[in-house]
Structure 1
Amino acid sequence: MRHRKIKTRLNRTSSHRAALLRNMASSLIEHERIETTLPKAKVLRGYVERLVTLGKLDTTARRRAVFSKLRSKEATTKLFNDLGQRYKDRPGGYVRIIKTGYRAGDASPLGLIEFVARKEG
């Protein structure tokens, strides 16, 4: 049964949503902080947390699994070499969302999504 299996759709088709999450996850991994709308940030948090959990153990199978999700060699490399090692002893909660207000044009709620204990600079 598929009762209560609805994901947040973000008013997009499944392929558009997958591309959106892939691009936003790559940007978040590369820059370690991005600003976006609150609903997108909430969906992105679960997506990125799963990738960081995979990045904690560096194996070929896990690298291929992450690369198939991100499709970015630079983001995959940074995830395994930098972020995976940084959060090796942390059991979860790698990403935080900070509400920053509302967008001027359409009053959409905005949020800053960033990695916890990120390096400044």
Structure 2
Amino acid sequence: MPRTRKLGRATDSRMAMLRAMVTYLFENGKIETTLARAKDVSSMAEKMITVAKEDNLHNKRMVMGFVTKESVTHKLFTEIAPKYADKNGGYTRITKIGPRRGDAAEMAIIELL
């Protein structure tokens, strides 16, 4: 079983943060965050896109249970997932942008391809 990053938070707080970041990524197409968070967001976003490739009621309910905005869920099923219909993964790109000025945390940009 792979190890998970705790990101210095309790499970419920961590999942809420990841849900919000994945929603924001689908809404805007790109976010800037720390490298560790970007890796977790990438993993969850790719799972949501894979589920959204097949448009049925069960998959819509699964995505709505994770994504926090109904308009973003609609966008995911109508615009984002059909764009990746012929790909088997690799829907996001993480680009390192160097250390943050305040605490030298490694920063990254995560974007949809």
In the superposition, the TM-score normalised over structure 1's length comes to 0.90
Distance 1:5 1:114 in 2: 24
Provide the residue aligned with 2:12 in structure 1.
15
1:99 aligns with 2:101: no
- Hey, what does 2:80 align to over in structure 1? 83
**Corresponding residue number in structure 2 for 1:63:** 60
Count how many residue pairs are aligned between Structure 1 and Structure 2.
113
Which residue identity is paired with 1:65? M
Percent identical: 36
For 1:74 and 1:24, how far apart are their aligned partners in 2? Answer: 15
Q: Please give the TM-score of this superposition, normalised by the length of structure 2.
A: 0.96
In 1, Cα distance between the equivalents of 2:109 and 2:78?
A: 24
Residue type of the alignment partner of 2:3: I
Unaligned segments of structure 1, at least 5 residues: 117-121
SS in 1 for 2:32: strand
Shift of 1:6: 3.3
Please give the root-mean-square deviation of Cα atoms over the aligned residues, in Å.
1.0
Once residues 40 and 89 of structure 1 are traced to their aligned partners in structure 2, the CA distance between those partners, rounded to angstroms, is 27
Match of 1:119 in 2: none
Q: Which SS does the other structure have where 1:96 is aligned?
A: strand
- Distance, in Å, in 2 between the alignment partners of 1:114 and 1:71 is 19
- Code of the residue aligned with 2:89 in structure 1: it is G
Q: Deviations over 1:84-104 (max 9, x none)?
A: 110001111000100011111
* Structure 2: runs of 5+ lacking an equivalent: none
Deviation at 1:71, TM superposition (A): 2.5
> Shift of the alpha carbon at 1:5?
5.1
User: Superposed, which structure 2 residues align to 1:25-44 within 5 Å?
Assistant: 25-44=22-41
